[in-house]
Amino acid sequence: MRLIVPLQGVVQGRGGLIWGSLIPCALFYFLQLYLKRRRPPSPSSNPPSPSQSFSDLQRSSSRSNLSTRGSIGRVRISSRASSIAKPNDSPYYVGLDKAKLDPYDRFGNPNGVIHLGLAENRLCFDLIEKWISENLSNLVMGINGGDLNISGIAGYQPFDGLIELRVAIADFMSRVTRRSVTFDPSQIVLMAGATPAIEMLSFCVADSGNALLVPTPYYPGFDRDIRWRTGVELIPVHCRSTDNFALNMTVLDQAFNQARKRVKVRGVLISNPTNPVGNVLPRETLCSVLDFAQEKNIHVICDEIFAGSVHGHEGFVSIAEVIEIENFDKSRVHIVYGLSKDLSIPGFRVGVLYSYNESVLAAARRLTRFTSISALAQRLLVSMLSDAKFIEEYMEINKQRMRNMYDLFVEGLELVGIRCAKSSAGFYCWADMSELISSYSEKGELELWDKLLNVSKINVTPGSACHCIEPGWFRCCFTMMTQEDIPVVIARIRRIAETSKSHS
Amino acid sequence: MRLIVPLQGVVQGRGGLIWGSLIPCALFYFLQLYLKRRRPPSPSSNPPSPSQSFSDLQRSSSRSNLSTRGSIGRVRISSRASSIAKPNDSPYYVGLDKAKLDPYDRFGNPNGVIHLGLAENRLCFDLIEKWISENLSNLVMGINGGDLNISGIAGYQPFDGLIELRVAIADFMSRVTRRSVTFDPSQIVLMAGATPAIEMLSFCVADSGNALLVPTPYYPGFDRDIRWRTGVELIPVHCRSTDNFALNMTVLDQAFNQARKRVKVRGVLISNPTNPVGNVLPRETLCSVLDFAQEKNIHVICDEIFAGSVHGHEGFVSIAEVIEIENFDKSRVHIVYGLSKDLSIPGFRVGVLYSYNESVLAAARRLTRFTSISALAQRLLVSMLSDAKFIEEYMEINKQRMRNMYDLFVEGLELVGIRCAKSSAGFYCWADMSELISSYSEKGELELWDKLLNVSKINVTPGSACHCIEPGWFRCCFTMMTQEDIPVVIARIRRIAETSKSHS
């Protein structure tokens, strides 16, 4: 069938040119006829002038006439706020809410929900507690042993973070990389958590309607952090269990080529160490991603929030180290960091945006007016991070405790036939429960998740919440538990496993 | 002349209908001819397939071939970030930067810039300092005199604020209104400053491209707070010195009618007490604005950040009180508050979004993931606000000191012939220096501002930065000074005044 469309003349020869003009002529004719019929009869009176309408307003809504109040329909909120206000849908957030309402306690609430759904590390709260107990009151004495520096705590501070804290954090970041790279405090922008740092970077590298490529499975919070306010789209780049969920460059390239047909791709967002899998990215992968970004002239955002939370034997390599050594264009590279994971203090709300791009830094510094950190918290952290002995001890003990918990938990899961992906970092393991699901599908996975949450009272994060393409994987955080909780968790899972297997 | 346009048939009779079809026919004909000429010749080769392009990529950017790196142009950042990253343009921010670089100190830097450009209250830092010195270490002991509640400080907390702090702030807000209204802690959403609260409310009531009406002169920060990320437009509603810059309802209505022709107006943003003028809004004005909003079915955002910083004899009336008494639809009313002004602790970053609209509250609570307050700061403030004796004493002394400084400063200005608008709240006075400007225009005003900043070394905020329609007005904050600084400021202004007058 031959299709004739407006502007046909551009595509075809002279005949098409005539058709391409007559067709819109006819279309306009019928459009006008249609609109004419639907049009309401024109009002005979003139529209009221502004002054008239105001006197009407004064009459109709004079305060003595209370009955008119509320006669107009309810006021509407913005459509973007409406969509954010909608009830939780992701199992990740449903689980968080449920775990908060009915938290397990060995003595107080032994039938409560055991929370393996939140990446919070409580293994070293005792160390942090001891340090704060011993040092908080020193803060009152001020830096030079004199009086409290009240204007430095109560008064306005630079929104993008105290210079003292930026220096201390740059040093801490360097320590995390075992001094293999130095970080420049002037490239650090501080804000109230890594969450605003992720959002701000997305805002800065991409306009609304643009897209970022994100290898899956990825942290379920990204969907909120990035999509909600920036309007940036996330395009999943699926990784497979056969590669231990490592990024495949061919798949990345295919995703880019597929996406660019309909949307402007402005960057790749990778996590290193990965979340939810817990791998550290090999130097080779970082180089490939940087090559790819350079070739496509796009950005690389690297979320290194778990950089100092490596419990395995593989060493963490920061993208900052790779670009220092190799001849990459740095201006497209941006790092997200924070103290919530590696120092176990999410309650302090300290996030780091680290960038090599002066324009991104300039915009980000200004945007911190919306997400600044309390000066009190900042000054306490300057002291804490400057206590080199404490920090060294903390990192050593934290690593030992994480490794111990990881080993115990993974062994426990193996006892009930659940295998975890090979991993060496993060507060979680990535467990393959595909043998326990009734059907090899997202539906089957969510049924198991629901059973785990509501029957076994264990909150874990299903892979589908992380956009994992293979059903049956679950993220289980082990750093909110004590060692004594592990047998309880394993026993609960064993019961589910036995029921599931007897049914199949 | 008779104009013939497409769709003419809708407007006119049958003759117009034919013309309205033939005209687009002709237009399409010529458009096609034009496009045909401009079209580049079609390429003879097929576009490369995805797999081809990836092998190209691998070749062209293999890491051994370092010379290709950086061959592609610099990566672009988003256009929205570019526009935010641009250098400061508003004299408000230029002045802030300048004052920070060369701050006046009576002994250390007597020729430095005296900072009257920032609404920070340092008059009662001694009281805050004393309280913190005496109570900070108690925090270590925990609420029940036991150990430090480490998980309550270091662990994840609700992003929208601790319930204890929301209760304490609701009580403080009620105290500020002299108990004439109670605030419900469940309608409070806490975040890192009033700045994100303003932004969040704008985001929630209006979509990008919508508008808010804002009486002028207004706080210069609104332009950044609201426009930068929400894409909401601010439409000035000009107030006049002849009304002591009070809001004129007829002008508001005219501005609404004018604006609605091209944009969707979603609300009115008022400040009470006003900033930069320093008036408290009369109950009547609040009622009129609420009537107006109800009539137009739009929102009212009321910025009450200076509610407890009244130094005059007129009492502050919260919009919360007005809607309780009268039969207004509450769901369109939202209040911005915070502790930065009334408790002189901007460094703590505590802002309050108070709303009667459940959907706005639901969206705002979720958006606090981007702008949460350090738990350490929150817990300290729970203690401080619960110390009723301290709070009462603080508010009493603060009011006395503000009134004293206001009186001294306004008297000083009068001595050099500068009159201030009648005001009773805020950390500033609104000074009429129109007699000192060389031409009655924004240019003349900015020339004087520049002379004050760079010759007299006094940083004040020119009215044009506040969108004031009358030139020659300046906001001068008096709460960053000590009493001893006033004669220095007045002497500096006197010199400028004498030069200006001798020139004219």
pLDDT tens digits for range A246-301: 999 999 999 999 999 999 999 999 999 999 999 999 999 999 999 999 999 999 99
Inform me whether the pLDDT recorded for B191 exceeds 80: yes
Please report the domains of chain B, with CATH numbers, ordered by start residue: 88-124+394-503 (3.90.1150.10), 157-390 (3.40.640.10)
Rg over alpha carbons for chain A, rounded to the nearest Å, is 29
Reported ipTM: the value is 0.86
Segment B350-354 mean pLDDT: 98
Q: Above pLDDT 70, what percent of chain A?
A: 83
Q: What strands, in cross-sheet order, belong to the sheet with A473-477?
A: A419-420, A428-432, A473-477, A461-462
pLDDT, tens only, A58-89? 333 334 344 444 445 789 999 999 999 998 77
Catalytic residue among A98, A296, A341, A457: A341
Do residues B118 and B427 touch, judged by C-beta distance below 8 A?
A: no
B80 with A137: Cβ contact below 8 A: no
Distance CA B99, CA B399 (A): 26
Do residues A479 and A121 touch, judged by C-beta distance below 8 A?
A: yes
pLDDT, tens only, B169-187? 999 999 999 999 999 999 9
Distance CA A222, CA A87 (A): 18
A504 to each of A67, A439, A500, how far by Cα in Å? Answer: 66, 10, 6
Higher pLDDT, residue B373 or B36: B373
Segment A182-201 mean pLDDT: 98
Q: Indicate if A389 belongs to the active site.
A: no
Tell me the angle at which helices A485-503 and A442-454 cross, rounded to the nearest 10 degrees: 130
Q: What is the mean pLDDT of chain A?
A: 88
Higher pLDDT, residue A42 or B414: B414
Q: Residue A234 in 3-state DSSP? A: strand
Check residue B15 and give its pLDDT.
Answer: 47
Q: Above pLDDT 90, what percent of chain A?
A: 79
Segment B127-154 mean pLDDT: 80
Segment B259-283 mean pLDDT: 98
Partnered with residue B216 across adjacent β-strands are B238
Q: Indicate if B451 belongs to the active site.
A: no
Element spanning B485, H or E: helix B485-503
Which residues of chain A have a CB within 8 Å of the CB of B129? Answer: 147-148, 150, 154
Distance CA A225, CA A336 (A): 13
Segment B309-316 mean pLDDT: 95
Question: pLDDT confidence of B3, banded at 50, 70, 90?
Answer: very low
Distance CA A248, CA A285 (A): 9
Token digits of residue A215: 């290898």
Which residues of chain A have a CB within 8 Å of the CB of B196? Answer: 370-371
Check residue A17 and give its pLDDT.
Answer: 53
Segment B339-353 mean pLDDT: 98
Mutate: best of B5, B75, B123, partner A, most A CBs <10 A: B75
Q: Above pLDDT 90, what percent of chain B?
A: 79
Check residue A21 and give its pLDDT.
Answer: 55
Nearest CA to A320 out of A178, A417, A421 is that of A178
Segment A477-503 mean pLDDT: 91
Check residue A87 and give its pLDDT.
Answer: 86
Inform me whether the pLDDT recorded for A12 exceeds 60: no
Distance CA B45, CA B42 (A): 9
Tell me the angle at which helices A485-503 and A388-415 cross, rounded to the nearest 10 degrees: 30
Q: Indicate if B335 belongs to the active site.
A: no
Inform me whether the pLDDT recorded for B55 exceeds 90: no
- Residue A84 near chain B (CB below 8 Å): yes
Report the alpha-carbon angle B503-B461-B230, nearest 5: 140
Check residue B325 and give its pLDDT.
Answer: 83
User: Sign of the C-alpha dihedral, residues A484, A176, A367, B92?
Assistant: positive
Inform me whether the pLDDT recorded for B31 exceeds 70: no
Largest Cα separation within chain B, whole Å, is 91
Check residue A143 and give its pLDDT.
Answer: 47
B348 to each of A178, A223, B116, B194, B378, how far by Cα in Å? Answer: 34, 30, 22, 11, 8
Check residue A42 and give its pLDDT.
Answer: 39
Indicate the residue of B8, B31, B370 with minimum beta-carbon distance to A199: B370
Segment B459-488 mean pLDDT: 97
Tracing tokens 């001891």 back to the chain, one arrives at A130
Check residue B385 and give its pLDDT.
Answer: 98
Element spanning B333, H or E: strand B333-338
Inform me whether the pLDDT recorded for B51 exceeds 50: no
Question: pLDDT confidence of B73, banded at 50, 70, 90?
Answer: confident
- Residue A299 near chain B (CB below 8 Å): yes
Q: Indicate if A253 belongs to the active site.
A: no
Nearest CA to B431 out of B443, B419, B440 is that of B419
Question: pLDDT confidence of A50, banded at 50, 70, 90?
Answer: very low
Distance CA A386, CA A146 (A): 19
